[in-house]
Structure 1
């Protein structure tokens, strides 16, 4: 006997158990996958026969010709029916054989009494008529993932099964019913139902079906009005003349109602009522499962969107716009992300990444990476060092996780952009004259794959250049590989970008629609898009001086500051900035090594920088009352709005920021 679990446990739940006729199903290899209780009694079956070949389970099928008829039906792909004498008890059985996608369905009915009375055997029994469609419906409901999937399955299968003209789904919310799916009803009626106050829960047929937890049938408008005179307008408004109200109950909890409606009066036969009862349980189980998925899917997307920037910052160095689109077709959340990080001295980091895989775990890793990038960038880590630490972070998560990432750090004072990639496709660079290209970046591996020194590339960007960063979910699909997608993106950037256009939001939308992704359900993978337009600092806002490695340098720094701030009309900041520059230069002379460079930047804030050739980072000391030194950085921290230090190619840079007078007066 096969040790595999019988497919019936998944594909055919007890949907056919309530039927009076005997039903047996097999897979494509003729192994028994399901039989109901009448079949168990008729054929002498037991649970141990599940998974066995049908001809071994019921040897009489050889002698009665059933085996040959089943094989012929499979070959022809069409249902067949015949009558056979049953050797065990001399009964005459009518057997209907239905080929289905997963194998075969056999329906048995005892016609001995009809035969003895001279009655003609029916061409098709009630179960035989419906069995094939019920099996297909059961399988389709088992495949339904979302609540809308369940609605679609019922519309496609159950309406045909019962010949209904309309179907509607209503969720129960306390003592109210809320529509969430309708088919076969006019738009005017659906809108009218939304605007009309609902009747009391205990005084409407849907509420009565839920209260009694049993299907409720109304065969004509006259019966409807007779039962519910206060709702006499309903048959006319809906245009329907018969209804079946099916309560959807799971684990004793009534979750909603499914309503089948007919354009003509309809007398519900006992067999139909029995099948409707079966359908209640099937739909309720599928819908309860789908609601759990919908709730989890909604929470997952809320989590993921919460991990992405709510609003991109407004910065002097770049103008940015971004889009994130989740995967469609019921896919789980992914790990695509982007960020725009302000850095000292008006620099900015543009970051985009993709954690491989889908699910809450990947979304959580995405959040960890974004937080780590922000923290390391705020600490002044160089790009290669930053990626080294990111690689260690992903590697510590295990061998099953890896991610791609691209970081572009743009400095508006030099118009230089430093790019570092970890297995991520390069951005599209578009110059103001319309020329575009993909920069040749070092071939660094994805994060989490290997310990590797990350290399960087540096570009000089004219003012007004565009950087288009993206993830592979935007450009790659089953009909297009990543190289084709990159080429297509470059062409679409050229076509959609108008010279001098400042609307990056419109450019984002144009690129997405250009890739035929206006409907997010088209995305098989989630996708992120980040576009930045560069802006260069004005030379009139930058002043720089070389200072000697001598104690006199502090005095020279104060004079340069005083003269430059007077030229800029920032006399109110002269005293504070003189103290800051003097302390920073004195700190280099005492603890570091030159040459020393002093630079002032006039931007949204006043920025003062002192650079040297030492790699030793400054730190604030807690000086004792008797100490003569150790209070310089404490003074810097007290005078400046912000201060910090970062690594440079040749040493380090200590910087401070002060609000301009207009900003201070506005704040007060």
Structure 2
């Protein structure tokens, strides 16, 4: 090719139209001295190069240029205008000059001035040149239309675009030469151009004549004016922008996918978002299949499918351009077996995307074993398919399969690249959803295993509870509740909330719940119990900080903290003692229906350390309703906490057939379908022990009083109809009263409580707690408390401000009513 060009140049005559002498070319340095002068400049001004080079260019000017104008020009990269100069013979010439301010290879700035020699007027041959340029221009297709919108001229590119020669197009309107909406839109644009005289830009998508593939076209409609400025026609210029059009569409689809895919952490919904975003821009039907091994979300994600045999895939999502999705032979959520060597399985095995026509062997073999799928392909006319594996973080999750039948073109390589990009984005989102679902499932399982499966039976209160994990992205939190039977027929009610979400919060909740049960077992008052719990939370926070490896970047801070409300209700005195650590105040509904928030000091959050907690005591008549809850019940994104409290108080006064029904009513009214935070609710309706169920004796500190005390206790047991417990009761009363007289301090008191168990309590003014010990063979004492522990169901001790109380519990068979 280069040799041909050289030969052509050699054959040209010397005096060719582009010879240098037809342009005056001058170079000036920064001081305006002439450094270059060609033959064209000599012909223009009459000076030879020898006469002018080295001289100042100012001497050539017919009149001086103002200094202000020169300063404005100095910094310009280019200047053009008319300059008055003197010819050598003294004539004044007005010439048009184009000046370039440039830096050549020498590195010295200079001005390069050019001016065409006068006298080059248009020639008759120029008209023919213009016509040839219009007709043969390969860069764009053009057509000229008169004011009647009739074609007057078309170039060769337009003939190729329409598949028609000029002979068939002249005299036709656009809508006649191009049938359909594209021609009508072009005509409407031409009419607007004729009316307004303003050009108009359009874009159309149509198939060129003689081609099966549709093209994108940019169309510019420009007015053609005569010398007077009147519009005499319209020029239609069009460019094939198919590649740019599809590139823009792909970028738009990728951008849209980034916004629409992964809006939630739900696996199935994320898969459906992938299917929705690809229809109809990329495919006519798409299905998203996930490995069935992902169904067990508590197991690690597998690295791939089975080694051989049909592969089971679950249909996670599908979408179609046709309403009703007639292409689907597998329902959403159903499992289908894909044979070995089928296109989806091959993509899963290899980890590579592929595209096929329906006549390919891989597709034919796949359809041969699936008559239903083959029939659907034949009915719809599906002509091509793509399979793209869903893979994220080195793990294969499934495969997306794309089909075309309404779109006339088969899938191209660019389509495959686009599908891989979209599926890769979706795979990361699906993997995130799977990881979140597994972690949340583990946290929920842990949380539920740590919460009481069944509330213990006790006579002090009737209870009902609800726990609802968060449904949003935050994950499971650390809310908990508990009901702990205490000595003396009392009961402890607890509700707490650990700061944060996830497995860590659930595990911390379990440790705190265990600590509360342990502290409650030694019968600490509410304020003291919270003080011990505060110390524990502070230690947990310190341990977490110390466990951070020194050779790793520090993880985001996740301080251990919690709120808690602890209440103890005594059905004998009908009083309730409460303390709280930064927790919402409990609500009390009286038997007559009055509702109030308990005036209880807030207390600091658990884990702050060094701050005191205060307890309060309130009277709770029999039939009162005590509501304990976490903050997730009363606050939300669209509700203020005060509004939530007000609504909760209203709901608690509503009549309900049971406490369980009331719990359901409260949750249904206050919570959305997917609450943003965990919720724990504990309702307790108080009961009271009748005075006939309690017997109390003040005992003098005299060993001789033990015998009378035994008689009184036996008489009371027989009055209650509990003769079967008489022997053990006599032994327990004798042993505990004797120890109180011998080792304790006055005042000494014996109390028997007839509840679901027979409770025996002996109190004295000493704070010294007894303990079990094993007596040696010849010891005279040390066996009494051991016998008490062996013969009773439970025993223990609790401290009070006035001393201590030793208590025991005996079980007994309920007395049939007909025996009284």
Relative distance call for 1:180 and 1:556 in structure 2 (3 A) is farther
1:432–1:462 contact (8 Å) kept in structure 2: yes
1:219–1:266 contact (8 Å) kept in structure 2: no
Q: Distance in 2 between matches of 1:328 and 1:196?
A: 25
Per the alignment, residue 587 of structure 2 pairs with: 428
1:220–1:265 contact (8 Å) kept in structure 2: no
2:319–2:325 contact (8 Å) kept in structure 1: no
1:169–1:180 contact (8 Å) kept in structure 2: yes
2:286–2:400 contact (8 Å) kept in structure 1: no
Q: Determine which structure has the larger helix proportion and give its number.
A: 1
SS of residue paired to 1:598: strand
Shift of the alpha carbon at 1:644?
0.4
Relative distance call for 1:488 and 1:308 in structure 2 (3 A) is same
2:283–2:403 contact (8 Å) kept in structure 1: no
Per the alignment, residue 643 of structure 1 pairs with: 795
| 2:279 aligns with one of 159, 175, 190 | 159
Matched, 1:510 2:510: no
Relative distance call for 1:195 and 1:409 in structure 2 (3 A) is closer
Relative distance call for 1:391 and 1:485 in structure 2 (3 A) is same
SS of residue paired to 2:336: coil
Q: Distance in 2 between matches of 1:190 and 1:492?
A: 48
1:409-439, Cα deviation, whole Å (9 max, x unpaired): 1111222111111111111111222111111
Shift of the alpha carbon at 1:136?
4.0
Per the alignment, residue 275 of structure 1 pairs with: 418
Larger Rg: 2
SS of residue paired to 2:418: helix
Per the alignment, residue 147 of structure 1 pairs with: 267
Per the alignment, residue 716 of structure 2 pairs with: 564
In the TM superposition, what are the counterparts of 1:293-442 in structure 2 within 5 Å?
293-398=436-541, 400-442=559-601
Q: Distance in 2 between matches of 1:219 and 1:546?
A: 99
| 1:120 aligns with one of 239, 242, 245 | 239
Q: Distance in 2 between matches of 1:189 and 1:507?
A: 49
Shift of the alpha carbon at 1:221?
11
Per the alignment, residue 73 of structure 1 pairs with: none
1:192-237, Cα deviation, whole Å (9 max, x unpaired): 6479873453275533442454445566799977851331213667
In the TM superposition, what are the counterparts of 1:136-285 in structure 2 within 5 Å?
136-138=256-258, 145-148=265-268, 150-159=270-279, 161-173=281-293, 174=306, 175-183=311-319, 186=324, 193=331, 198-199=336-337, 201-202=339-340, 204-217=342-355, 227-234=366-373, 242=382, 243-250=385-392, 253-261=395-403, 264=406, 267-270=409-412, 271-285=414-428
Shift of the alpha carbon at 1:191?
9.8
605-614 vs 287-296, greater mean Cα deviation: 287-296
345-354 vs 138-147, greater mean Cα deviation: 138-147
In the TM superposition, what are the counterparts of 1:17-166 in structure 2 within 5 Å?
120-122=239-241, 124-138=244-258, 145-148=265-268, 150-159=270-279, 161-166=281-286
Per the alignment, residue 807 of structure 2 pairs with: 655
Q: Distance in 1 between matches of 2:380 and 2:475?
A: 40
2:275–2:317 contact (8 Å) kept in structure 1: no
2:348–2:389 contact (8 Å) kept in structure 1: yes
Relative distance call for 1:253 and 1:327 in structure 2 (3 A) is closer
2:347–2:387 contact (8 Å) kept in structure 1: yes
2:380–2:405 contact (8 Å) kept in structure 1: yes
SS of residue paired to 1:647: strand
| 2:617 aligns with one of 448, 454, 458 | 458
1:219–1:265 contact (8 Å) kept in structure 2: no
2:565–2:581 contact (8 Å) kept in structure 1: yes
1:275-304, Cα deviation, whole Å (9 max, x unpaired): 223334333343334322322222122222
Relative distance call for 1:240 and 1:460 in structure 2 (3 A) is farther
1:302-335, Cα deviation, whole Å (9 max, x unpaired): 2222221122222211221111122222212211
SS of residue paired to 1:120: strand
1:526-575, Cα deviation, whole Å (9 max, x unpaired): 11111111111232222221111211232122111110111111112111
Q: Distance in 2 between matches of 1:217 and 1:590?
A: 95
Q: Distance in 2 between matches of 1:259 and 1:461?
A: 66
Shift of the alpha carbon at 1:588?
0.8
1:413–1:536 contact (8 Å) kept in structure 2: yes
| 2:765 aligns with one of 594, 597, 613 | 613
1:221–1:235 contact (8 Å) kept in structure 2: no
1:71-100, Cα deviation, whole Å (9 max, x unpaired): xxxxxxxxxxxx9xxxxxxxxxxxxxxxxx
Shift of the alpha carbon at 1:605?
1.3
Per the alignment, residue 95 of structure 1 pairs with: none
373-382 vs 538-547, greater mean Cα deviation: 538-547
Residue correspondences, number: 541
TM-score by length of structure 2 reads 0.61
Query: 5+ residue gaps in structure 2?
Result: 1-138, 140-216, 218-236, 294-305, 543-558, 816-820
TM-score by length of structure 1 reads 0.74
- Tell me how large the CA RMSD over aligned residues is: 3.2
Shift of the alpha carbon at 1:469?
0.8
SS of residue paired to 1:247: strand
SS of residue paired to 2:369: helix
1:619-656, Cα deviation, whole Å (9 max, x unpaired): 11333333222222112112211100112342221111
2:287–2:400 contact (8 Å) kept in structure 1: yes
Relative distance call for 1:662 and 1:204 in structure 2 (3 A) is farther
Query: 5+ residue gaps in structure 1?
Result: 1-82, 84-110, 112-117, 664-668
